[in-house]
Amino acid sequence: MLVAVTRGVSPNIGRCELTHLEREPIDLDSATTQHSLYERMLLGLGCRVEHLEADPDLPDSVFVEDMAVVLDESAVITRPGALSRRGERPSIEQALELYRRLEHIRAPGILDGGDVLVVGRNIYVGLSTRSNAEAVQQFRALVADEGYDVFEVGFRGCLHLKSAATAVSDDTLLVNPDWVDAGTFPDLACIPVDPTEPKAANVVRVGDTVLFAAAFPRTGERLSDAGFDVRPVEASELAKAEGALTCCSLLFEVPTLPASTG
């Protein structure tokens, strides 16, 4: 079964890091409601949701994805590029150590999970203001024995690689071709977002279902037309904090417990 680690919206999300966006007021109630609906969607799709408590001292901490990359064999705890986010790691480590052997990115490496796109045994790491080549080297060394190939990827126009490209199946990505060159992924098919929806490339794959941000209906329709089972998720308030759908969970497989015979 799938576990989804999430974290409540910090009451101080209004003080979040911003790179490509102008600051605008974030309505905490709306953000919290949207986040709860996201969690409920994951529950409805069969995930076990492990909800960590919100932390007023960590404005960006709802975006748990940036703290770790969870593979089948291990979880790599990142060293986030933003200093204000490094305190988010301990609670994520506690949540993940129940399920995975933990590995760590060390200084001078910096890495945000939002820059790490895992597609089968290929892992694409975006070089950004949050993730550097040193971290890519460390990451490659950490996962080499498990047979992963790790590729450095250039992109532009957005904070994280996964704002520009996410996987919708084992062999297909949804991409914004203005932000990442489709040639970056030679072995994968690429579906472009609708040109009027540049921020639409961040979707969450849960089994055979793809969650897309409700703000991007044309891209949702493209995915549906391509045969994907799609569900819209309202995430407009969290988007003001420069976070997208994948940012709000760490999703990974765990063995299903056998049914009790007692």
Query: Given the rule CB under 6 A, which residues bind ligand GLY?
Result: 16-17, 19, 60, 63, 82, 241-243
Say which of 16, 47, 247, 248 is annotated catalytic: 247
Whichever of 9 and 188 has its CB closer to ligand GLY, that residue is 9
Looking from the CA of 201 toward its CB, the CA atoms found within 13 Å total: 29
Q: Is 247 a catalytic residue?
A: yes
Q: Using alpha carbons, select from 123, 68, 118, 119 the residue that is nearest to residue 97.
A: 68
Q: Closer to ligand GLY at the Cβ: 123 or 247? A: 247
Name the minimum Å distance from CB 202 to ligand GLY. 12
Active site annotation includes 190: no
Least distance (Å) between residue 141 CB and ligand GLY: 25
Tell me which of 16, 160, 190, 248 is the catalytic residue.
Answer: 160
Shortest spacing between CB 25 and ligand GLY, in angstroms? 15
**Shortest reach from residue 225's CB to ligand GLY, in Å:** 31
> Nearer Cβ to ligand GLY, position 39 or 66?
66
Nearer to ligand GLY, 63 or 139 (CB): 63
Residue 145's alpha-carbon distances to 97, 148, 149, 150, in angstroms, are 20, 8, 10, 12
Strand order in the sheet with 229-233: 204-206, 209-213, 229-233
In three-state secondary structure terms, 23 is: coil
The residue among 144, 141, 139, 143 whose CA lies nearest residue 127 is: 139
Residue 17: what residue type? E
Catalytic residues: 160, 247
